[in-house]
Chain A
Amino acid sequence: MAQMSGAQMVVEAMREEGVEVVFGYPGGAIMNVYDEIYKHKYFQHILTRHEQAAVHAADGYARATGKVGVAFVTSGPGFTNAVTGLATAYMDSIPMVVISGQVPLSMIGTDAFQEIDAVGISRPCTKHNFLVKSAEELPLILAEAFYLARSGRPGPVHVDIPKDVTAQIGEFDYPKEVRLETYKPTIKGNSRQIRKAVEAISNAKKPVFYLGGGIIHSNSADLVRRIVAATQIPAVETLMARGTLRYDDPMLLGMVGMHGTYAANMAMSEADLLIALGPRFDDRVTGKLSEFAKYAKIIHVDIDPSSIGKLVHVDYPIVGDLKAVLEEMAPLIEQKVDPERYEAWREILERYQELHPLTYEDSDKVLKPEWVIQRVGEKLKGKARISTDVGQHQMWTAQYYPFTRPREFITSGGLGTMGFGFPAAMGVKRGVPDEISINFSGDGSILMNIQELMTAVEYRLPVINIILNNNYLGMVRQWQTFFYDKRYAETDLSMQPDFVKLAESFGGVGYRVKTKEEFDEALDDAISKGVVALIDVVVDRYENVLPMVPAGGSLYNMLLEYKD
């Protein structure tokens, strides 16, 4: 036990938690902490060029590694800049601890310089938050913050520390273990429910695995693969579950939902049993609820009880950690379930796959965005981590990239945050330095955190940004084409920077490519040089993401083609 300042406690706590990197941005209220960072070299601090990017980088790091991501920001504007990052992580259940400075305790409530009610703002977009009232309680609060972030349904935790608390001297006694009377996530599933669920599977004729992001968070993709192989039951993946099954797994019908494959959406619509493993029945997946899986009984496994039965009636609810539940379920399934049973069902779905496979029309006049993504997949499959921004390019990446494993695909699903991709890809690169870090972006999204070129160059985080440049806010343009009679209100991005010079001015490398050959050369060059890169790829302006279930429509009513 040692006496030290609150600021010192913060850095000591990082050491106790094994934190290797903190993304952040200093300012008045958090300067005492930065002074300790200067003195101790327990962890690397990466100075991003915007607080939003610091939080997204910590988020990308967490998604790629499964560890808790950490970001430090100052009070007032430093904190408000971080809010989008917190909300992004919250919607996707990403473990993170964000520490903000606050004005001194005595000044709280006086509208002091750079004072904002930070815990008031972060309450609805964090798993939990704390306003620290004394240095004495700081070690326990920090330990609880890390514990809450990573346990149960993970999520971001915000700790707001007034400046005088970071100066106060107190005893640093870091708890080895945290126990909270009021918070006890259920880990083990109810065995009777599990047996009933297995029974339901073995009696079903048309079962489907509905695979969700919880599989990635709980590190249970291996178990899922084992169960899918044993049962030969077809599976669909949500955006957040991509990579659970290999892209070439014969049981994988593809992504489900608004831009899901025909076979995946039809499987959900015609199934008599959904085996939902860690999804949350998001509206972008279900479409119109009254028509969603209306012939199916539903098994839903989730660690968050409030997720179960929130939107649809569940026949076999199982609350528990997915991994623990699947460990119990797998041997039972292997005993009880005969894969022969579903032969006819598999044949129906195979026909659906043949009827409307995922497809686009390639061209020799203009690059197609889908081709670019597939091409990257051919070259880097299994060797790269793929982040995205938000828009059409994100959906095409989810559809066309050949994912081989969990944590390979990093994307903002729940909040759909443009500007996420590049900083997240920096965090990914920091977390898994031996792999290539790609960010598929759009000409709109990339400009929302373009200042991070400086961070990436300074810290040698060679992210390769592939801008699928359609001169449009493409996804919004697509909706305007389909549903607003082509009134392209404020989506035309013909006014563009010179991305090559832009990259170069920061010390990165830029490419502008218009053909397949040029693209190959640029990608190979960027990889071999190991530099921070912007590859500005001129693609077809009017390509649409298909299939598409119009918002609020039924999953089985997909637009499969668009003829002008």
Chain B
Amino acid sequence: MKIERRVISVIVLNEHGVLSRITGLFAARGYNIETLTVAPIPGSKYSRLTIVTSGSPRVIEQIIKQLHKLIPVYKVIEHSELVEKEMVMAKIPLEERLSDVEALCRAYNGNIVNIGKDTAIIMAADEPSRIKNFIEALKRFNPKEIVRSGVVAIER
């Protein structure tokens, strides 16, 4: 069966241990987590998790059903009609040509956000597939550290 990538948003009650229920479920049943982000939904008692996972259609169906089954889960959103974004930050040595770095960042909705003693901190936010390209392109500036946020997504 073919393996597909899937972005799933889960709306959960903001309560003690809820994240461990979700990650525990994925670990116990051998499901993949590529990225996971979580933050409270403003003005509510819920949080929103965005999980990027992959599996065969049957596994994806099970993941969704098993998530639903968790008591504090309010809603599982599995639209394919999603706008996805991911953010990445990196440290670039000051010896690099910062004008080139800046141009690259701009192309990926980013910028130089901080300049320190030895390094500049840059960021970019874009579609996950483009973020991959960005990281690839960044390599020639010898980044010291790269931090990715994981994917967030919203339905169209």
Q: Which of A117-125, A222-230, A459-467 contacts B (4 or more CB under 8 A)?
A: A117-125
Return chain A residues, CB-CB under 8 Å to B58: 309
B17 within 8 A of A: yes
Total A-B contacts with CB atoms under 8 angstroms apart: 36
Tell me if A361 counts as interface (CB < 8 A to partner B): no
Q: Are the C-beta atoms of B71 and A183 separated by less than 8 Å? A: yes
Stretch at the interface among B20-28, B96-104, B128-136: B20-28
Closest Cβ of chain B to A308, distance in Å, is 8
* A530 within 8 A of partner (CB): no
Interface range, B side: 10 to 19
Which of A123, A180, A182 gathers the greatest number of chain B CB atoms within 10 Å? A182
Interface bits A87-131 vs B (CB < 8 Å: 1, else 0): 000000000000000000000000000000001100110011001
CB–CB B13/A123 < 8 A: no
When the two chains form their complex, are residues A309 and B71 in contact, meaning their CB atoms are under 8 A apart?
Answer: no
A431 to B61, CA, bound (A): 40
Residues of B within 8 A of A183 (CB): 71
Given A119, A127, A306, which contacts B65 in the complex, CB threshold below 8 Å? A306
B2: interface (CB < 8 Å): no
Q: Which of chain B's residues have a CB closer than 8 A to the CB of A123?
A: 17, 20-21, 24
- Structural contact, B71 and A305, CB atoms closer than 8 A: no
CB <8 Å contact, A131 and B17: yes
B5-47: CB near A (< 8 Å → 1, else 0) gives 0000000110011001100100010000000000000000000
What distance in Å separates the Cβ of A471 from its nearest Cβ neighbour in chain B?
38
B148 close to A (CB within 8 Å): no
Quick one: which of B16, B66, B73 contacts A133, CB cutoff 8 A?
B16
Given A120-B20, A131-B17, A133-B16, CB of A182 within 8 Å of CB of B74: yes
Known interface pairs A131-B16, A306-B62; A124-B71 also in contact (CB < 8 Å): no
Check B13 against A182 for contact (C-beta < 8 Å). yes
Verify if B85 is at the interface (C-beta below 8 Å from A). Answer: no
Contact B61 A181 (CB under 8 A): no
A148 to B69, CA, bound (A): 12
**B150: chain A residues within 8 A (beta carbon):** none
A304 within 8 A of B: yes
- Check: B72 CB closer than 8 A to any chain A CB: yes
Q: Which residue of chain B has the shortest Cβ distance to A181 in the bound complex?
A: B74
Q: Do A119 and B17 have beta carbons less than 8 Å apart?
A: yes
> In the docked arrangement, what's the CA distance between A404 and B58, Å?
39
Contact yes or no, A304 B69, CB < 8 A: yes
- Contact (A309, B24) CB under 8 Å given A131-B17, A182-B72, A182-B74: no
A127 contacts across to B, CB distance below 8 A: 71
Residue of B nearest to A306 (CB): B65
> Which residues of the partner chain B approach A120 to less than 8 Å between Cβ atoms?
20
Q: Is A310 an interface residue (CB 8 A)?
A: yes
Residues 161-188 of A contacting B (Cβ, < 8 Å): 180-183
Known contacts A306-B66, A309-B58, A309-B61; A180/B71 CB under 8 A: yes
Instruction: Determine which residue in A119, A127, A128, A306 has the highest number of CB atoms from chain B within 10 A of its CB, and name it.
Output: A306
| Contact assessment for A305 and B24 in the assembled complex, using a CB-CB cutoff below 8 Å | no
- A residues near B20, Cβ cutoff 8 Å: 120, 123
What's the least CB distance linking B24 to chain A, in Å? 6
A148 and B66 alpha carbons, distance in the complex (Å): 16
Chain A residues with CB below 8 A from B13, complex form: 182
Q: Which residue of A lies closest to B63 (CB)?
A: A306
In the complex, what residues of A have CB within 8 A of residue B69's CB? Answer: 304-306
Q: Is the CB of A124 within 8 A of B24?
A: yes
A310 touches B62 (CB 8 A): yes
Contact string, B70-101, partner A, CB cutoff 8 A, digits 1/0?
01111000000000000000000000000000
The 5 nearest A-B residue pairs measured at CB: A306-B65, A128-B71, A182-B74, A183-B71, A305-B65
Q: A119-B17, A306-B66 are in contact. List 15 more A-B contacts (CB 8 A).
A: A123-B20, A124-B28, A127-B71, A128-B71, A131-B16, A133-B16, A148-B71, A181-B74, A182-B13, A182-B71, A182-B72, A182-B73, A305-B65, A306-B65, A306-B69
What are 27 A-B pairs with beta-carbon distances under 8 A? A120-B20, A123-B17, A123-B21, A123-B24, A127-B71, A128-B71, A131-B16, A131-B17, A133-B16, A148-B71, A180-B71, A181-B74, A182-B12, A182-B72, A182-B73, A182-B74, A183-B71, A304-B69, A305-B65, A305-B69, A306-B65, A306-B68, A306-B69, A309-B58, A309-B61, A310-B62, A310-B65
